[in-house]
Structure 1
Amino acid sequence: METIFMAQLMGALYGLLAVVFGAFGAHALKKKLTPELLHSFETGVKYQMYHAIILLILSFNLNFDKPMDSWIINCFIFGTLLFSFSIYALCLGAAKGNKPRFLGPVTPIGGLLLVVGWGLLLYSFVSNLV
């Protein structure tokens, strides 16, 4: 039950923030970021929204009767946090002239968690067939 709640809570929160950050990027940052940085920022927003949607879909469709279900949800929650939010920080830092270099490796770790989450989801579907 608590995994379902976390998936729903984080899915709704990530969706809300994706809309807010998307509007912020399209309006407030359009003049402050280079086209390359704006594209990166938009990538963070898109991935955040995609994973907000999948969290909500899974929270209403998974039985959450296997430990792997919690692993999938946690990979999506933490992967989105590390991936998208590190991109936001890197873009905003670059716009202000300082690059928070320590965040450089955080983005691929978040991406890896997202890939693992999708891989586990695929495995859960395939293992139900076998």
Structure 2
Amino acid sequence: MAKLYLLLAALFGASGVALGAFAAHGLRDKVAESLLEAFKTGVQYQMVHTLALFGVALLIQSRGERLSLSLSGALFVAGMVFFSGSLYALTLGGPRWLGPVTPLGGVLMIAGWIALFVAAVNFSR
């Protein structure tokens, strides 16, 4: 899992930078300001959780595979896809039914942090 999460962190990091540049240069003056802000929020959350995923990969590498760590990484990945992905899609004219997907992604990210907390509590064991 460590290698998979490291690879995904690299992909999410690179795509986050590219999407941020796209928002700043390609979307400005093309979408409503509120949509541009939503897109930027997606990029911000993607980048923060990319770093979290990178940290999870390093923890798995150093501490070994643990359910709570693996679950944390999986929840971060799913959260980024649902939260940031839905914001990107909605900004670019995706179907409105994606709106409820955004908070689901946020819940998945929160669950990822809780799983990371559980992993930290169990580190001494």
Q: Deviations over 1:87-108 (max 9, x none)?
A: 0000111xxxxx5122111111
Runs (4 or more) in structure 1 with deviation over 6 Å come to: none
Q: Tell me the matched-pair count.
A: 123
How far is the alpha carbon of 1:129 from its aligned partner? 5.6
Gaps of 5+ in 1: 94-98
Superposition pairs for residues 2-41 of structure 1, below 5 Å? 3-41=1-39
How far has the Cα of 1:123 moved from its partner? Answer: 2.0
CA contact (8 A) 1:64 1:70 kept: no
Which residue does 1:96 correspond to in 2? none
What is the CA-CA distance between 1:35 and the residue it aligns to? Answer: 1.6
Matched residue, 1:103: 98
Q: State the partner residue of 2:76.
A: 76
1:87 aligns with 2:82: no
1:55 Cα deviation from its structure 2 partner: 1.1
Give the root-mean-square deviation of aligned CA atoms: 1.5
Given the two structures, how large is their TM-score scaled by the length of structure 2? 0.91
The alpha carbon displacement at 1:39 in A equals 0.9
CA contact (8 A) 2:72 2:115 kept: yes
Q: TM-score, normalised by structure 1?
A: 0.87
Asked if 1:65 is matched to 2:72, the reply is: no
Identical-pair percentage? 40
